[in-house]
């Protein structure tokens, strides 16, 4: 995404797409709050395909644009000047403006202060409001609380009296979190990238041979994910028997297999997925998300989100996948446990800029459970340190440091902030978790796995924030104890059966 610094010193990030031939016109999209320019992606695709040049900036305080703490920076007149400077930079003279919510207010100021630049205007949700229009946000909060049960703008600091000033900043921990978006930046040195690609290719071939054929599922669907991975993601689907004969809606379990972000395939969990279907009558959809190092963070996370979003649409129903959006669970092991925690956090924001992910789903969407098995949750620390701090027995049975190091370096090139909660979920503070609508959690670790400390730490954070957590450290459990053992060990068989019996029990009893 281009970045432009306006004369006030703030950097604006924006999306711009130009047609091959001369454009019919220029269309400017201004998003509302909480959101970002990416919310217009459907409209951008449509109008670009129709021959228009389209632009959608992340407005001040949103997305990857500057977030000044001084509330006076958000004067709408000044923000309108910022937008015009971006248009001048892109050599745009006149435009068609489209605004939504707070973006409509900014669009109105563009019409007032720069009428010579306007061709046409379109206001969505919020109409034109002249400068100086009184805005009693306390009254809005009071009435919305009576009608909805919560204050619609309760997450904002509200010391402004008119729509001339957007005097708000996030008064919560949310302001410290970055929205996961694919972006360019610092890479590993060229020769090191070759090394990572060679190592992961060998591991991928070896594991694929050991895990056998891709079989046992009922459907295989291909979901479009523009800009993520190869542009699509393939998912294996297991269906309750009745679903294949009727159109009754069933709960959904979205599964994210582990493999250090570089391995992993839906076929790896074919036995446990069929067990879930048979014991809970839920639909299981396992996502073959984009793998590193070719597709580092956040490709896998955002592809998992897109797969979930697709499963709740009529496109899924046309494939015979009828999902009840009010009964959705997400689960995974190891790296898949990391993605489970990250996706669950992403869906937990009901206000603020991150809520755009939640509200892109059906209104009755509800995540009723997340289950994480020996998850990798503290990628902010090098694997060598996490291995060293564990017990001697755990170190003996854990993944070798050089393998895990290559996996994590593949997923996290230097440009990625490893302290981000969607990279290291254990970094989510108790205060932040209290604010979020985090679903109940099942979190199992093994006593002979060096990742047990970070799993325990995250479980503690969830518990202290008031969330329901079923946590257990399985004695004698190694990394991978949830995979059906091949050696016939009685202890391993018992552990495997107990693990999945408890997960199925939690899925059946999940609150609706």
Please tell me whether residue 225 adopts helix, strand or coil conformation.
coil
Domains of the chain: 3-171 (3.40.50.1820), 190-212+219-478 (3.40.50.1820)
Identify the pLDDT of residue 160: 42
Identify the pLDDT of residue 451: 95
Identify the pLDDT of residue 158: 44
Identify the pLDDT of residue 129: 80
Element of type H or E holding 236: strand 232-238
Q: Is the pLDDT reported for residue 171 higher than 70?
A: no
State phi, psi for 56 to the nearest 5 degrees.
Answer: -140, 100
Per-residue pLDDT tens over the stretch 424-446: 999 999 988 988 999 999 999 99
Residue 169 — pLDDT band, cuts 50, 70, 90? very low
Identify the pLDDT of residue 166: 36
Q: Is the pLDDT reported for residue 300 higher than 60?
A: yes
Residue 164 — pLDDT band, cuts 50, 70, 90? very low
If phi > 0 it is left, if psi is from -120 to 50 it is alpha, else beta; for residue 397 that is alpha
State phi, psi for 227 to the nearest 5 degrees.
Answer: 80, 0
Per-residue pLDDT tens over the stretch 82-101: 999 999 999 999 999 999 98
| For residues 134-161, average pLDDT | 66
| For residues 188-216, average pLDDT | 91
Crossing angle between the packed helical segments 299-311 and 335-346, to the nearest 10 degrees = 60
| For residues 53-72, average pLDDT | 87
Rg (CA), the chain: 24
Per-residue pLDDT tens over the stretch 239-259: 998 655 567 899 999 999 999
Identify the pLDDT of residue 326: 96
Identify the pLDDT of residue 366: 96
Task: Output the average pLDDT for the chain.
Answer: 89
Residue 299, number of CB atoms within 10 A of its CB: 24
Highest mean pLDDT among 82-86, 124-128, 148-152: 82-86
Counting DSSP H helices and E strands in the chain, the numbers are 16, 14
Tokens of 256: 């994210």
> Which pTM does this prediction carry?
0.70
């Amino acid at each position: 995404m281009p970045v432009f610094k306006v004369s006030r010193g703030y950097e604006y990030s924006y999306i711009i797409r130009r047609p091959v031939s001369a454009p019919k016109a220029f269309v400017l999209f201004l998003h509302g709050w909480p959101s970002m320019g990416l919310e217009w992606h459907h409209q951008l695709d449509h109008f670009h395909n129709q021959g228009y040049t389209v632009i959608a900036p992340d407005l001040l305080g949103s997305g990857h644009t500057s977030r000044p703490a001084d509330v006076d920076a958000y004067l709408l007149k000044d923000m309108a000047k910022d937008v015009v400077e971006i248009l001048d930079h892109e050599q745009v003279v006149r435009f068609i403006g489209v605004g939504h919510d707070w973006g409509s207010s900014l669009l109105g100021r563009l019409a007032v202060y720069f009428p010579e630049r306007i061709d046409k205007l379109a206001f969505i949700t919020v109409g034109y409001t002249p400068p100086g229009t009184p805005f009693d946000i306390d009254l809005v909060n009071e009435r919305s609380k009576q009608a909805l049960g919560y204050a619609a703008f309760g997450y904002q600091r509200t010391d402004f009296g008119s729509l001339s000033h957007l005097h708000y900043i996030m008064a919560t921990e949310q302001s410290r979190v970055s929205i996961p978006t694919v972006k360019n930046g610092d890479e590993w040195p060229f020769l090191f990238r070759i090394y990572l690609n060679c190592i992961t290719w060998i591991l991928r071939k070896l594991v694929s041979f050991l895990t056998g054929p891709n079989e046992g599922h009922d459907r295989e669907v291909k979901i479009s994910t523009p800009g993520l991975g190869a542009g699509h993601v393939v998912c294996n689907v297991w269906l309750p028997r009745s679903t294949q004969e009727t159109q009754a809606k069933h709960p959904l379990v979205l599964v994210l297999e582990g493999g250090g972000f570089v391995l992993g395939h839906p076929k790896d969990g074919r036995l446990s997925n069929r067990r879930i279907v048979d014991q809970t009558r839920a639909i299981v959809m396992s996502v073959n998300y984009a793998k590193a190092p070719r597709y580092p963070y956040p490709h896998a996370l955002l592809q998992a989100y897109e797969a979930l979003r697709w499963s709740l649409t009529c496109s899924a129903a046309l494939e015979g996948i009828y999902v009840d959006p009010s009964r959705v669970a997400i689960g995974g092991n190891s790296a898949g446990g990391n993605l489970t925690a990250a996706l669950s956090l992403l869906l937990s924001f009901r206000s603020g800029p991150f809520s755009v992910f939640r509200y892109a789903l059906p209104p009755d969407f509800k995540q009723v459970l997340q289950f994480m098995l020996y998850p990798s949750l503290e990628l902010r620390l090098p694997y060598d340190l996490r291995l060293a701090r564990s017990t001697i027995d755990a170190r003996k049975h854990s993944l070798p440091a050089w393998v895990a190091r290559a996996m994590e370096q593949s997923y996290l090139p230097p440009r990625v902030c490893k302290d981000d909660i969607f990279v290291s979920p254990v970094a989510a503070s108790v205060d932040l978790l209290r604010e979020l609508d985090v679903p109940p959690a099942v979190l199992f670790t093994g006593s002979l796995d060096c990742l047990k400390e970070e799993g325990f730490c995250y479980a503690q954070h969830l518990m202290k924030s008031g969330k329901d957590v079923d946590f257990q450290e399985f004695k004698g459990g190694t990394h991978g104890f949830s995979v059906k053992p091949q050696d016939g060990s009685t202890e391993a068989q018992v552990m495997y059966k107990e693990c999945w019996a408890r997960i199925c029990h939690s899925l059946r009893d999940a609150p609706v």
